[in-house]
Chains A and B, each alone.
Chain A
Amino acid sequence: MSPIALGIGGTIFVGICYGTWRNPRLWSALIWAFVATFMLSAAVLMAFPAPFAEKAFAMTIIMPLVWVGLQFWLYWNPGRWTVTLILFGIIAVSTVIVVLSPPPV
């Protein structure tokens, strides 16, 4: 990856982190709910014991609902940081599963 692309990507990442620090609910609804949904879907696709195609179709239906559910939960839960921290946990655990699991067949 070129240094310019790394610089732009890094700046955006720092901006998102700063935004999350200032307003965790808003930035989690905009960014982290999607990342958590996506990584969770990928982890389920890799680790859940079922035929891959079946899982892929199921996840494409379920994913929008999970995504919206997480966004809604951010505003439902009274804790300012609670759901954001849970989202970070989901992202971390899912990433570990994705990295350690072999590609599905």
Chain B
Amino acid sequence: MVDKARHIRIYDLHSWTGVALGIMMFFVAFTGSLALFHHEVEPWEDEARRGEITSTPVPVQPILIKWLEENAQGREPTFVSINLPHGEHGHFDLFASFRDENDEFEQVRARFSSKSGEELQWREEGANQLIYDLHRDLAWPDMLGGRTAGRVIVGLVGIAFLLLILSGIIAHTKITKELFTLRYLKSVRLKWQDSHKVLGLWSSPFAAMIALTGAFLGVVAILLPLVAFVTMKGDQKALEDALGLGLAEPAGISAPMLSVDTPELSNHAISGNPLAFAQYINWGDQNSTLRLVYESPKGLLGSDTLIVDAVTGEALPDADLFTSGGSPFGYVLATFSPLHYGTYGGIALKLIYFALGLALAVMAALGNMMWLERRRHGGEGGNSDRFYAVLSGLNTGVCAGLPLACIWVLAFDKVFWGSEAARYSSVAWFFFSAWILAASFGYWRGNDYKANRELLAVTGFGLAALAPLNWIVTGDMMWNAFDTGADGSAWFDLAFIVLGASVVLTAVKLPSDRPADKRRQAQVEPSVSDFEPQPAE
């Protein structure tokens, strides 16, 4: 039983943590919901990735060797990686890291057709990658600490989210009743309060899992170097060795590399899953190893991994503590990323994650709205109504403007006309400009209800317009793509139209002004006796 003073403390903890991080929570949850489809949306984003994947790809090893020779320029390739055709990905993507005599590294990459073996133009990352980065590390700029700093901030949001879930559940003393209470017609505050509670309580197991795995994926980025600093007296190399993450040193003796075209390697010996990724470490050296990753789209561990000697092909013990089974906790940690991104149950699971992720975003926004509603119309708070009105306008603009900015940036990326090198930075600048514009509109509109409704309507129309835009820019009419086996892009066109129409319909149904509080109205409505003549003083 929670005593009253304790209940107030826990409630305050929940309330103020939520208010301080509400918009950040909304941002992370919303971009995370979109980032779930990071791989699936690639054919929609890049028309070069459309088309049926050939069942008889050309051998990749001769292409790889020729490409390495062309790029080596007297340098040693260390890591050499190949993305093989699988899923929606129909090309060979080659990556190499060259080390020169000054121990400086240069990364090079290229894309080749799996049908003809000819080199294709490399399309730089655009809006899809930006949205993924925004969720993962806020696309944090280098001058402010780079992606690691951004990742830590997102990880800290995960920690705060865990605290919110724990304090929220404890603060609700009548959970079983609140799970089934949704008073939509009483007052604005009760409607939002009940929606917040119902969404929060029903999604709490999912939210706890997302928060814990997200905190791990983010905070671990600083945790390991800091633990190394303390336990290994600042020696990162000693930590890597203690964790078994150290790499074998090259022998300095040249040796021919085992080909990934070898038929025995093309499918996993036990699961039969196709080879999706191969990585040579110490390329061309007698001490080279080849890491083979087989696609396992429905496995919680994400992939089947095989390590072989890159010269003899002899299987080597799996030194990867995450997948080797040598550490039960390593196995648990290896499930965190698939659990967080929902990659273990096909597209149906991702759609469930998408709905739950949006529910978390809406819950965060509702929390902020409740806090402001209590201050503007509930007599709480010590600041002026003008102050809370400004906060409310910004909250509406920032939250309703984020989906709009995401839609606009996808459209901008589709019609981008600049150089490939400038694509990512251009879409990033465009995204933040669009978001600031939308947030400013929310503030300038002066009526949160109208602003929310109008921003949502524009988002819906924009979403539906992505399909015809794709048709105009690429010439791929969605109906023609169905039944071809290369319909990944067409499904997104269809989803955009259906979702866009749903968003517009929702916007139409939303009120344009704050609904009158029936209970309060009844209290302040003048009764007949109020009009009775009063005796003069």
Q: Which residues of A contact B333 (CB under 8 A)?
A: 57, 60-61
The verdict on B425 contacting chain A, using a C-beta distance below 8 Å, is: no
- Taking the closest CB of chain A, its distance from the CB of B229, in whole angstroms, is 9
Contact residues, A88-105 vs B (CB, 8 A) = 98, 103-105
* Residues in A53-80 with C-beta less than 8 Å from chain B: 53-54, 56-61, 63-65, 67-68, 71-72, 75-76, 78
Nearest-Cβ distance from residue A48 to partner chain B, whole angstroms: 12
Q: Say whether, besides A53-B321, A64-B159, A75-B13, A103 and B329 are in contact (CB < 8 Å).
A: no
Question: In whole angstroms, how far apart are the Cα atoms of A52 and B6 in the complex?
Answer: 40
What residues of A have a CB within 8 angstroms of the CB of B220 in the complex?
A: 60
Contact A61 B227 (CB under 8 A): no
New A-B pairs, 14, CB < 8 Å, besides A58-B329, A61-B329, A68-B166: A29-B13, A46-B231, A53-B242, A53-B321, A56-B227, A56-B243, A59-B227, A61-B332, A64-B216, A68-B162, A71-B163, A76-B170, A78-B5, A98-B230
Contact status of A68 and B163, CB under 8 A, knowing A53-B242, A60-B220, A60-B333: yes
Q: Which chain A positions have C-beta within 8 A of B212?
A: 64-65
What string of 1s and 0s marks CB contacts (under 8 Å) between B313-348 and chain A?
A: 000000001000011111011000000000000000
Taken together as a complex, chains A and B put the C-alpha atoms of A105 and B307 apart, in Å, by 25
When C-beta atoms are compared, the residue in chain A nearest to B3 turns out to be: A78
* Residues of the B chain whose Cβ atoms lie less than 8 Å from the Cβ of A46: 231
The smallest beta-carbon distance between B24 and chain A, in angstroms, is 15
How far is B212's CA from A73's CA once the two chains are assembled, in angstroms? 18
Residue in chain B with minimal CB distance to A94: B230
Q: Interface size on B (CB < 8 Å)?
A: 39
The answer to whether the Cβ of B238 comes within 8 Å of any Cβ in the partner chain is yes
Indicate which residue in A42, A61, A78 contacts B231 across the interface (CB closer than 8 Å): A42
Give the CA-CA distance A67 to B218 in the complex, in Å. 14
Whether A42 and B230, one on each chain, are in contact in the complex, defined by CB atoms closer than 8 angstroms, is yes
Q: Which single residue of chain B is at the shortest CB-CB distance from A60?
A: B220
Q: Which residues of A contact B235 (CB under 8 A)?
A: 103
Cα-based distance from A34 to B311 in the complex (angstroms):
47
Given the contacts A52-B242, A64-B212, A67-B159, A57 and B321 also touching, CB distance less than 8 Å: yes
B159/A98 in contact, CB under 8 A = no
| CB nearest to A103 among chain B residues | B232
B395 within 8 A of A: no
Is residue A38 within 8 Å, beta carbon to beta carbon, of the partner chain? Answer: yes
Known: A53-B321, A75-B13, A76-B6. A105 touches B330 (CB 8 A): no
* Best-buried of B6, B159, B224, B326 by chain A (most CB within 10 Å): B159
Contact at A104–B242, with CB atoms within 8 Å?
A: yes
User: A-B pairs with the 3 shortest C-beta distances?
Assistant: A57-B329, A42-B230, A64-B215
Q: Which residues on the B side are within 8 Å of A65 (C-beta)?
A: 162, 212
CB atoms of A78 and B6 under 8 A apart: yes
Q: How far is the CA of A15 from the CA of B212 in the complex (A)?
A: 31
CB distance from B159 to the nearest CB of A (A): 6
A45 at the interface (CB under 8 A from B): yes
Report the bound CA distance from A104 to B242 in whole Å.
8
* Cα-based distance from A69 to B163 in the complex (angstroms): 8
A41 on the interface (CB 8 Å rule)?
A: yes
State whether B227 touches A64 (Cβ < 8 A).
Answer: no
- When C-beta atoms are compared, the residue in chain A nearest to B13 turns out to be A75
Task: Decide yes or no: A64 and B219 within 8 Å by CB, A53-B327, A54-B327 being known contacts.
Answer: yes
Nearest CB in chain B: distance from A67 CB, A: 6
Chain B contacts with A in 204-247, Cβ cutoff 8 A = 212, 215-216, 219-220, 223-224, 226-227, 230-233, 235, 238, 242-244
